[in-house]
Structure 1
């Protein structure tokens, strides 16, 4: 299986040459043009291979996989796992191993609380151990039984022992018996993650002239500040950038180089925030620059980040030129109403509402 995963990853994340664009207005992909069928199939296969192995031990009902707001890492021949819910601030470390289950659980707790901040050291599509290098990602987000942050392995081991002795739970599943512990993050876990990326957001904001509160709002909407985020659509990292579409646009139109970013590039928080913000800049200054009202352009840009410029324009007319004319004839309120009630995709309607809600909170310092 590992060989198959390696071959799929190589095929999926190798860039392909794309001619650089001119300085003229470029026609964007229609309606958030997705990955090619080959890449979609490859990503689906990676998830499928993982599910096949994990379900042997967990069954269909208790199988869990990674998503935009959730990180799931399987260990120990897929019998043990860490499940991190970034929205709820909950961590569940579980095992169905019937051979030394407490030892497996202990090791998994240590690896989870000391998980490295650099996502490249975490392999989500295999059962390999996590490399414990550098500063733990959860520093400040998790505290031990004494209310202290967990930075060193000795403290992580002591915490794991405490959790197993005092917080161990079990439940029957179809495949047998599962043992697990629940670890609650601190109340301000979201702010703790936000602080980790403050400098990166500030730099990207200044470089691309995109408001900081908008960048924060997009990150929260896309991943809840989960740097390990991955989706079936092939989007990666904090701002959920798809290599083939937004990533390729940024490489060609902003970075002036061919190809598209790799998975490793997009899992790097600095590169991810830079790329996601650069794509917002492209939407604002190129694809949607003909939108005359700044507020209408702002609404359109946010919606387009989720579903493509084509999706925004198709809300107003099937013909792109006529759609732009109709969009500009409407007030910002009318544009907002159209994008949140008439956009072809339900997800895009909700997306604009969420981002604007979070942006308001970030601008007022509530988050």
Structure 2
């Protein structure tokens, strides 16, 4: 195997590398930044004068530009609500976790020493900390390996053991490269990658990590635990690194300028809006998301008389806002509330899942309620 790699690397160097006599950086290179700004997240992009939505779009756009230079448009991947994607090494290497399918892919298009590059990326992925603030999704910065690994219990090595320490992660990486390495031809060369299966109950393993936080928020705001669990599963599949183009962050996909601002003003008595780093913290995120459900229940939708109808309405409003819920019934808010109160819960449910102005919101209510039933049966 080693001999084959030496032959492969020699061929790659001859055909694919730069004409420079200096080999390209293998790993832990100086991070690639667009400018010399002082922002610690997103490669130094100056987002100080942008709204949150503008800032997240700018960060994602910059990352996309850099990654596409290495991977091309067809193979580009970006982090999302149910998908973790982290680039390294001048954007030539990436880790991709699909939380819905329970698969981890670590890949590189590096032309110099891809084996060593892959090993380092596998180790960083397996040992990345549970604290999302330590992981910059918007640049190619390395991940500091400290604290309890986020994937602990969600992945087993080839000896069916948990992976908590660097020596075990390195050993497993060697095994994967020796036995599971795959290649894929790309328009710009060859990608080298390994695929790692997560354990069958990986979702439950992530749920356990946040059980205490959910219980605390439930007691504080009077929102049932099963509803909080259902919202988190719908929004992120318990992915604390979740981001969206709308500028939502974390487990419950809180948008700072809407739900976040309301919670700061109406519950926390704080000025301004929560920051990205604040919302990437799982404790803050679950607290803020649950507090917003409390606001919907006790303030914005307090005039909904039937408790079941109110429950349906607040779930729908978490996704699309109170205005979206009321516009399902009438363009005038007061008339809409009156019409809503005249309906039976099953009629309100039908309207919200068939007549809501946004298709996503129609499906959202159905998903959350189905997940809520699952958590109620546990």
Unmatched segments (≥5 aa) in structure 2: 1-33
Quote the residue 1:20 is aligned against: none
Q: 1:257 aligns with which of 270, 279, 301?
A: 270
* TM alignment of 1:52-91, pairs within 5 A: 52-91=65-104
* Deviation of 1:2 (Å): 5.1
* TM alignment of 1:153-168, pairs within 5 A: 153-168=166-181
* Deviation of 1:175 (Å): 1.3
Q: 2:295 aligns with which of 282, 287, 294?
A: 282
Quote the residue 1:349 is aligned against: 362
Quote the residue 1:236 is aligned against: 249
Q: 1:8 aligns with which of 40, 46, 56?
A: 46
Q: 2:338 aligns with which of 319, 322, 325?
A: 325
Separation in 1, partners of 2:178, 2:73 = 29
Quote the residue 1:203 is aligned against: 216
Q: CA 1:7 to 1:48, structure 2 compared with 1: closer, same or farther past 3 Å? A: closer
Partners of 1:227 and 1:267 within 8 A in 2: yes
Separation in 2, partners of 1:230, 1:356 = 23
CA-to-partner distance for each residue in 1:195-246, whole Å, 9 max, x for gaps? 0000000000000000000000000000000000011000000000000000
* Deviation of 1:72 (Å): 0.4
Quote the residue 1:26 is aligned against: none
Quote the residue 1:16 is aligned against: none
Quote the residue 1:311 is aligned against: 324
Separation in 1, partners of 2:36, 2:219 = 43
Q: Is residue 260 of structure 2 the alignment partner of residue 247 of structure 1?
A: yes
* Deviation of 1:11 (Å): 4.1
Quote the residue 1:185 is aligned against: 198
Quote the residue 1:119 is aligned against: 132
Separation in 2, partners of 1:39, 1:209 = 29
Partners of 1:2 and 1:126 within 8 A in 2: no
Give the root-mean-square deviation of aligned CA atoms. 1.0
Partners of 1:115 and 1:137 within 8 A in 2: yes
Partners of 2:176 and 2:194 within 8 A in 1: yes
Separation in 1, partners of 2:205, 2:106 = 21
Separation in 1, partners of 2:283, 2:154 = 20
Separation in 1, partners of 2:73, 2:36 = 24
Question: TM-score normalised to the size of structure 2?
Answer: 0.89
2:62 counterpart SS class:
helix
1:308 counterpart SS class:
helix
* Equivalent residues, number: 340
